[in-house]
Amino acid sequence: MKTANEPGKVDRTPDVDRWVLPHIARMEGYVPGEQPQGGTFVKLNTNENPYPPSPRVKAALVETVTDRLRLYPDPIAREFRATAAALHGVEPDMILAGNGSDDVLTIITRAFVGRGDVAAYPTPSYLLYSTLVDLQDGRSHVVPFSDDWRLKVDDFHQPGLKLVYLANPNSPSGTALTPVEVAELAESLDCPLVVDEAYGDFARENCLSLLKTHPNVIVTRSFSKGYSLAGVRLGYLVADAGIVAQLNKVKDSYNCDALSLAAGKAALEDQAYLAETRSKILATRERLATALRTLGWDATDSQGNFVWATGGRPAVETFQQLKERNVFVRLMRYEGCPPGLRISVGTDAEIDRLLEVLRGLP
Ligand SMILES: *Cc1c(COP(=O)(O)O)cnc(C)c1O
C-alpha cells in the first residue's frame, strides 16, 4: 500500500482495484442525463416537468421547515402513505415510500435478486435496471421490443428468473402496453413484475387495478415527472401488503426526509393542479410530435411527457448542433438500434424555440 509522504499531499492511489468486489469493479455505473448548471438554455433532456409544483407544496414545505426539521422523519411515512392509499383506493400497508422511485426500484431489486439470479427487462428501455441487477451480481435477460414496440410474453421466460421490470409507459419510446397485456405477462410469471409507472400520470391507462387480481404486480410511481418534484426525491410503490412487509426490511430506516414527504403529500392532495398541468403537457406533446413528423422524423405516439424521434436528420449530429445552440435533448443509443433523440415536453415557448432551432440547422 502506498503511504502519505507530506501532509496535504497524500498519495492515495489505493489498492481499491483489489479491495472492491469483482462485480462492482466490472461495472461502468449508471450515467444520468446531463444536468447543466447556470446559464440560459432550453432543457429538454431528463423529462422534468416544465411547470412549477402545486402551490400547496410550498405551503407544506414552509410548515415543515418551521416545525419539523429538528426531529427525525417518520421512518414508515404514515401520513404520506395514508394519503397515497386514499388516492388509489388501497390500504396504507400496500404503499412503500422511497427516495425517488429509483430508490424504490433499488429496494425491490435488493429484496428479490441475489448473486447469479436472473432479472428480465425489455430493451430499449430505462437503463437503470441493468445497473441495479449488476449491483446484485445478478444476470440480466434482455427482451427486445419489436419494431412497433410490442413484446412477446414467452421471451421473458428464463430459468432462474426472479424479477421482471417493465417501464410502462416505456422510455424512450413513450409507448405503453395495455393493462390487459400487462396482466397476461404477470400471469405467466412465477416472480414479481415491477410495472414502472414513472410516466403513469401522462398515460391513458395505468395498472393499479391489476393489484387486486395479480398479487405479483408491483406498481412504482414517481413525483419527478407528473408532480414537478424531481428536486425533492420522492417515489413510492403499491403492492400486495405481504410484499411491502418484506421490502420494509430492506429500505434504509429514514429513506425519505421530512421535506420530501410533506411535499409529496401536498402534491397528491392537489389532483386538480395535476390535471391542469397534465392537459397542458399533453397538448404540447401532440404539437411537438406533429411538428417533428412534418420535419421528417418518425415520432412515436407517446404516453409520456416526452417524444422519441428517430429516422430524421442524423441523431448524433443534431444532438450536438442543438447543444451548441443551448438546447439540450437526450441522445439515446441502444445496442442494435439506430440512435434517436428523446425530447422532453417543455412549455410551449421552449418547444417553439426547439423547433425554431431545428428548422434553422444547416
Ligand atoms: C424518471 C424515471 C424514474 C425515476 O424517477 P425518480 O422518482 O426521479 O427516481 C424511474 N423510471 C423511469 C422509467 C423513469 O423515466
Distance 198 CA to ligand 1 centre (A): 5
| pLDDT per residue as tens digits for the range 155-171 | 999 999 999 999 999 99
Mean pLDDT of 227-231: 97
Q: Cβ distance 27 to 335 under 8 Å?
A: no
Distance 173 CA to ligand 1 centre (A): 14
Distance 6 CA to ligand 1 centre (A): 45
**Cβ(101) to ligand 1 under 6 A?**
yes
Distance of CA 227 to the CA centre of its chain: 13
Q: Cβ distance 14 to 224 under 8 Å?
A: no
**Cβ(222) to ligand 1 under 6 A?**
yes
**Cβ(198) to ligand 1 under 6 A?**
yes
For ligand 1, atom 1: residue with the closest CA: 198
As a whole number of angstroms, the distance between CA 184 and CA 249 comes to: 30
Pairing of strands 161-167, 118-123: parallel
Domain ranges of the chain: 42-48+272-360, 55-270
What CATH number is given for 42-48+272-360 in this structure? 3.90.1150.10
**Per-residue model confidence (pLDDT) at position 33:** 77
Give percent of the chain above pLDDT 70: 96
**Per-residue model confidence (pLDDT) at position 38:** 74
Distances (CA, A) of 303 to 170, 174, 285, 308, 345: 8, 5, 9, 11, 11
Distances (CA, A) of 129 to 6, 119, 220, 246, 281: 44, 9, 13, 20, 27
**Cβ(166) to ligand 1 under 6 A?**
no
Q: Cβ distance 279 to 343 under 8 Å?
A: no
| DSSP symbols for 140-197 | EEEEEPPTTS---GGGG--TTEEEEEEESS-TTT-----HHHHHHHHHT-SS-EEEE-
**Cβ(124) to ligand 1 under 6 A?**
no
| pLDDT per residue as tens digits for the range 39-87 | 789 999 999 999 999 999 999 999 999 988 999 999 999 999 999 999 9
Pairing of strands 327-332, 42-44: parallel
**Per-residue model confidence (pLDDT) at position 9:** 56
- Within 10 angstroms of residue 253's Cβ, the number of other Cβ atoms is 8
Pairing of strands 235-238, 298-299: unpaired
Q: What is the CA radius of gyration of the chain?
A: 21
Burial of 72 (0-12, 13-18, 19+ CB in 10 A): exposed
Which helix (H) or strand (E) segment holds residue 260: the answer is helix 258-268
Instruction: Look at residue 110 and tell me whether its pLDDT is greater than 70.
Output: yes
Q: Cβ distance 258 to 71 under 8 Å?
A: yes
Instruction: Look at residue 98 and tell me whether its pLDDT is greater than 90.
Output: yes
CATH 3.20.20.10 fits 55-270, yes or no: no
Distance 102 CA to ligand 1 centre (A): 6
